[in-house]
Amino acid sequence: MTLPRDEVSKGLVAELEAFERLVRSLSPDELQAPSRCEGWTAADVAAHVIGAMADITQGRFDGQGTPEVTERQVIERRGRSADELAEELRAASEVAPTLLGAFDDDAWEAPAPGGFEFSLGEGVEALWYDAYLHADDIRAATGRPSERGDGLRASIEHVATILERQGWGPATIALDGSGERAVGGRGGRRVVADPLEFVLVATGRSDPSALGLDPTVNIYR
C-alpha cells in the first residue's frame, strides 16, 4: 500500500526541488565529504539520485536500483560541480509533473515499467523515499541538521511496505507523532521510536539494538 496518489506525485516533485537546492548549496569540499553510504562521497550520493531521475524521465527503467545501474549513475557524474549536478536534476524535475500526470489510476496500480514486482505507485513512492533519505545522507556527511516533513512520512510507508513484503513481523510500529502501523499482521512486538531513527535503523544506517531490534529489520540485509 502506498500513500494517496496525489500526495505521492506532489511529494516527489517537492522533494526533488529541495534536493536540487541542497546540492547547489554544497561547496567543493563538501561534495567530497565521506557519506554513511559505504564508499560514496556526498557527490556520489547526489549523483545516484540525479542519475536515477534522469534515467526514468528518459524512459530508462530496466535495472533501476541494482548495483550495476547505480554504479553507472555515479561514475557518469564523477567530477561534476554542484551547479552541474543541480542543473541536470532541474531538467529531469521539470519533466516529472508531466510524466506523472500522464498516468491514470489503472496505470498507477499496474506493475511498474521495467519488469518490477511492485506497482507504479509504489515505484514513485520509492523515488520520493530515496530522494529524502539520500538528502539526509548528504546532510549528515556535511554537518547539516536532518529535516523531517512529508518525505519522512513517505519513507516510513515505504520501509513498512518492504518489511511486510520480506516477512518481517508481526509487529506494530508506533512512531512519535506518526501514528501506528501494523507490519505482518496484528500482535507481536511493539516498536516505539523516533520516526527518523526508525528509518535509519531499517535502512542499515543506525544500530538496530538501540531500538531493541536485530539486523533482520534492515530492508537491505
pLDDT in tens, 67-88: 999 999 999 999 999 999 999 9
pLDDT in tens, 152-172: 999 999 999 999 999 999 999
Contact by Cβ (8 Å): 172, 182: yes
User: Is residue 115 over pLDDT 80?
Assistant: no
**Rounded CA gap, 65 and 52, in Å?**
8
Q: What is the mean pLDDT of residues 17-23?
A: 98
pLDDT in tens, 122-162: 999 999 999 999 999 999 999 999 999 999 999 999 999 99
Coil, strand or helix: which one is 41? strand
Grid cell listed for 29 = 569540499
pLDDT of residue 113: 79
Structural domains in the chain plus CATH codes: 5-147 (1.20.120.450), 151-217 (3.30.1050)
Residue type, 137: D
User: Is residue 1 over pLDDT 70?
Assistant: no
CA angle, residues 183, 188, 193, in degrees to nearest 5? 65
pLDDT of residue 141: 98
- The helix-helix angle for 150-165 and 195-202 (nearest 10°) equals 40
Residue bearing cell 526508525? 198
